[in-house]
Amino acid sequence: MASVTVDYNVCVCFQVVQSIEDHHLEVIALCRENGFHGLVAYDSDYALCNIPYYFSAHALKLSRNGKSLTTSQYLMHEVAKQLDLNPNRFVIFASLLGNHILPDEDLAAFHWSLLGPEHPLASLKVRAHQLVLPPCDVVIKAVADYVRNMTDFSDLEAIANDIFRHSQSRTDDKVVRFKKAVEYYSAASKSQHFSPYQGKFTHLTFSLYLTALFSPSQANPTVTSPVVIGHLNAQIPSLLSMPTRNHMDITSPPLPMVAPEVLRVAQHRHKKGLMYPYIYHILTKGEIKLSVTIEDEANQELPSAVQLFRPIRQYVYGVLFSLAEAKKKAERLAMRRNRLPEYPPVAVKEWAAYKGKSPHTPELVEALSFREWTCPNLKKLWLGKAVEDKNGRMRAFLACMRSDAPAMLNPACVPTQLLVLCCVLRFMLQWPGVRVLRGKELDAFLAQALSPKLYEPEQLQELKIDNLDPRGVQLAALFMSGVDMALLANDVCGQPIPWEHCCPWMYFDGKLLQSKLIQAIRDKAPLIDLCDGQVDQVNKVKKMRQSILEGLNFSPPPPPHPHAMPFYPPGGAFYPPPHMMPLQGRGRSMGMPRLPSMSSQGGKLEIAGTVVGQWAGIRRGRGRGGFPIQVVSVGGPNRGSSFMSKKKYIYVRSNMSNVVSHKSLGPFLTRT
């Protein structure tokens, strides 16, 4: 590779487009139609496409002052020298390394035959009926030698028969696929305009090792056009139409019909880069591939991003396929036929890797509709122009984010540019398991979003962070995954939030968040310090915090009977409520010990020898003698230890109207 530096001092605007059929062929066609001088990418398939200059996206670096870009240039003539291979044979060479048309599993027998029985790796060939593939660097050299020694590289039929002479199944099918693979790379290497074939994101084992073959600091490359070998009339298959391994795939129910005008809009927005890339793929294929995030598999405190934000996607799937409208139609039909409604299942195939989950098998995730209201169909959300349609878009987005609360739409409480931030944080707080986001951490997220440093790149660059907290890093990764899902939901619901208010850099910076978390948790700084001493920022944080927490219940529901008051350990808000203490006289039948009955003259409660509460008795008639105050002790030396060891929680009942507040007991109660 050769090092390339570009200096620029002008503002550059970029046009964004997205592929819809075949990524490589469409990108190449775009380059040729617009007369581009080169391509910046990180995929070896482009190296075979006869483009003037090919630069590495992996090596792309922006200078500290922001005035120059540095990258490396791929030199294909050096690749040819290293392989000792004529460039006009590259299309066959690439096809024999395997791609989405002819996978390397179908070429395994051929690759092993090139190594021969005397090769040191021959003993790894096949063991216990399990397919083992040779290392890629060994295969690359062996295939290059094979292609170099071909006498006639234009006779594809003869080449295919020789390649698959060791094949024991589907030989004819493999021959056809080999020819299609060669045609695919031949079409990509043509210099004239061509129509994109159907296919998607081809992947070569070649791409993992091609970079290692490049030689550095060389002269400008001499680009040699590969010779086009044959012309096949057969259609190049799409990657998504290719059969997958049975043990990897699962069967999903058929997708509901989508209105043609909706599909046209989706295709247009997808091509122009105006819509989240997941959406068109979900609508047409019913599957999604989720990105990997920073997660600690050993950490049981935080859920994985895939699991945490899956409910958002489930609501999104319901909106995309107009599930609420479909259910209404099913109910009306059932009423006319006097039978129970039948709801056809709607599920999307999710490919993802997270704690305890292999990436090789997808999961079927059910689409959900909102319980609180009937969401408009996708056509109205995307194309409706009435005022109620605009309101429906915003409500659908907030419902997907579980943030359909009045304060979220009040700009005085939640600034519009911070709505995505607050929705994601509110959603994270509603995880039914452990507490994902603690109070100080919530304040840190809000304080960094309001900090003036967020808009000062030089100050952020000079900011030093010592001893990063692993939990803080994972929280930041979780938050950004949530933003990703929020942007997906926003586009699905008709983009009620404009793009300029969705950009993450307007409300989040990872380094700034870490500094706020250190202040809040490690240094135990008050909120005024988190807000850099600015009182107006403190007030804004408090308003946003109150809006985020509005309607969220972090304590168990009230007891059904006024004489049974449960007490919970501190910080146990997300634990499920325990069974209530039965009424007096039923404890033994339930296998639970009774607490001593309380005297009508009053009493006091001791825990670990400390009086934590007391109550007055009911006044008796005159002339009656008084009774001593009754003491109920729990814990402490020789007091109540047997009761503590038997029960998970402690309950105190009284026939009096006054009961001790559970807040006063918090520091003393523990789970056993």
Residues 237-266 pLDDT 10s: 433 344 444 345 677 788 898 999 999 999
The three-state secondary structure class of 632 is strand
CB contact at 8 A, 530 and 516: yes
Tell me, what's the pLDDT at 347? 92
For residue 672, CA distances in Å to 287, 610, 641 come to: 45, 20, 11
pLDDT, greater one: 10 or 402:
402
Spatial neighbors of 419 by CB under 8 A, at least 6 apart, are 408, 497, 501
| Six token digits for residue 381 | 């959300």
- pLDDT tens-digit map of 361-409: 889 999 999 988 889 999 999 999 999 999 999 999 999 999 999 899 9
pLDDT, greater one: 327 or 664:
327
- pLDDT tens-digit map of 611-635: 655 655 544 444 444 444 444 444 4
pLDDT, greater one: 437 or 292:
437
Least trusted range by pLDDT, from 93-97, 319-323, 446-450: 93-97
- pLDDT tens-digit map of 492-503: 999 999 999 999
Residue 198 amino acid letter: Q
CA distance 662 to 289: 47
CA distance 647 to 667: 18
- pLDDT tens-digit map of 105-147: 788 888 888 887 777 776 665 553 445 677 777 888 889 999 9
Instruction: Tell whether the model's pLDDT for residue 220 goes beyond 70.
Output: no
Instruction: Tell whether the model's pLDDT for residue 341 goes beyond 60.
Output: yes
Tell me, what's the pLDDT at 243? 44
Spatial neighbors of 425 by CB under 8 A, at least 6 apart, are 437, 442, 445, 446, 479, 548
CB contact at 8 A, 111 and 132: no
CA distance 402 to 578: 26
For tokens 């994101």, the residue is 201
CB contact at 8 A, 50 and 192: no
Tell me, what's the pLDDT at 590? 35
Angle at CA of residue 353, ends 211 and 299, nearest 5°: 110
What is the rounded average pLDDT for all residues in the chain?
A: 74
Tell me, what's the pLDDT at 640? 38
CA distance 384 to 397: 15
The pLDDT-based confidence of 555 (bands split at 50, 70, 90) is low
Least trusted range by pLDDT, from 109-113, 471-475, 581-585, 630-634: 581-585
CB contact at 8 A, 186 and 230: yes
Instruction: Tell whether the model's pLDDT for residue 313 goes beyond 80.
Output: yes
